Amino acid sequence: MNEMRHDWLSDRWVIFAPNRTTRPDDYDRTSHIEPESHLRCPFCRGSESETPQASLTLPGTDWESTRAARRRGRSQPPTDWLVRVVPNKFPAVSPSASREDGSANNPIHDTGSLFVRQSTAGAHEVIIESPQHVTSITSLSHEHTQLVFEAYQQRLAFWRARPEIKYAVVFKNYGADAGATIVHSHSQLICTSFVPSDVLRIQKRLLAFRETNQNCYVCSILDQELHEGSRIVAQSSHFVALCPFASRFPYSVSVIPRHHRPHFDECAAEEIQDLSRIAQSVLKAVETEHPHCAYNFVLQTSPFDQESPDAFHWRLKIIPRLSKIAGFEWSSDCFINTVLPEVAAQALRQRIPGTASLPTSVPVAPIGTARHTR
């Protein structure tokens, strides 16, 4: 069974998931770029029985029409889904250990021992983004991508309502170098019964900033970034995409909502529609600037169980995997980035129609008003 262990020195939990060594791998590990084949893809339409039962399908499965068709003797595919969420067959966090009553999952601390471990509690889901064998979310239509983000929202809202779950993150691993093992376009959700120490630290810093400055740190940064302009990649009514000032990775982009909002699942339909467009624009720009580049994206939304739930400002971080993490980084947690964010932003802007000539100083509209600059 999976377990978590506490690394006391760095004050971090590590999840041990030996079950994940047996998961299938589409990639030829000697090339790291091209998938071997997509024969027998478990995520394609028609292979639904190869995954656990779906926890969500979008649009909702029309069982009535399926049954009616069967009654009329017509053969019809059993589902008509476009986005399908299933439990991960090789979960990092075992759902079996989650406690439905929300009681604390106490660490196992052997008497007199410095070794602290506990069973994992949470869930690990896969968001299958299309019934067709597409390999990149940028191949989907805006409307289809919107459904993917809606699936994120519904699952995040589901897990947030469960008292034993304290944290959840949605992420995508695209390409072998980013940790993907299946090429069919998909993302993942992991939720846990604890808030990871780094997330907790960020949350505390955001709270302290707000108490001192009567404003959200991310809102303040957004104002300054829009004023300077040099790191802006794209803008839309509800979002700003930018290369962060102290980014750890070359060409990393954060998509940040203009309006302060802690939880992603509280976004309005109009915002999700807007997000699907700007996220696709940025990802296409990354794919054009760096063909075959692996990337991760991460949807950082507020931890669930906080004394001050409003402190967080959710964002989508896109992390192209162009550099290798090496000895210095592992020893110091201090990253070396070879590309200034101003250089990366300029290159990416030139890949997005209508943004190349973005002025270095962009006028700032007050938070809370819709701004159309694209």
For a copy of itself, the binding residues in 30-49 under the rule CB under 8 A are 30-33
151 binding a copy of itself? (CB under 8 A)? no
Q: Which is nearer to a copy of itself, 165 or 176 (CB)?
A: 176
Using the contact rule CB under 8 A, the part of the chain among 8-16, 149-157, 232-240, 356-364 near a copy of itself is 8-16
Tally Cβ neighbours within 10 Å of residue 145. Answer: 24
Rounded distance between C-alpha atoms, residue 335 and residue 17, angstroms: 27
352 binding a copy of itself? (CB under 8 A)? no
367 binding a copy of itself? (CB under 8 A)? no
AA identity, residue 113: S
Exactly one of 79, 179, 289, 373 binds a copy of itself (CB under 8 A); that residue is: 179
Using the contact rule CB under 8 A, the part of the chain among 10-18, 76-84, 139-147, 364-372 near a copy of itself is 10-18
Letter string b/e over residues 35-60, b meaning 16 or more CB atoms within 10 A of that residue's CB = beeeeebbbbbeebeebeebbbbbee
Mark residues 289-328: x for contact with a copy of itself by CB under 8 A, - for none: -------xxxxx----------------x-x---xxxxxx
85 binding a copy of itself? (CB under 8 A)? no
Site for a copy of itself in 323-342 (CB under 8 A): 323-328, 330-340
Residue 200, exposed/middle/buried by CB under 10 A (0-12, 13-18, 19+)? middle
Q: Which of 84, 152, 153, 96 is nearest to 121 (CA)?
A: 96
Using the contact rule CB under 8 A, the part of the chain among 36-44, 177-185, 346-354, 359-367 near a copy of itself is 177-185
**Three-state DSSP state, 291:** coil
Q: Which residues contact 66 (CB under 8 A, 6 or more apart)?
A: 76, 78, 79, 80
Question: Taking CA 20 as the corner, what is the angle to CA 15 and CA 24, rounded to the nearest 5 degrees?
Answer: 155
5 binding a copy of itself? (CB under 8 A)? yes
Site for a copy of itself in 187-226 (CB under 8 A): 188, 190, 192, 196-199, 201-202, 205-206, 217-218, 220-221, 224
17 binding a copy of itself? (CB under 8 A)? yes
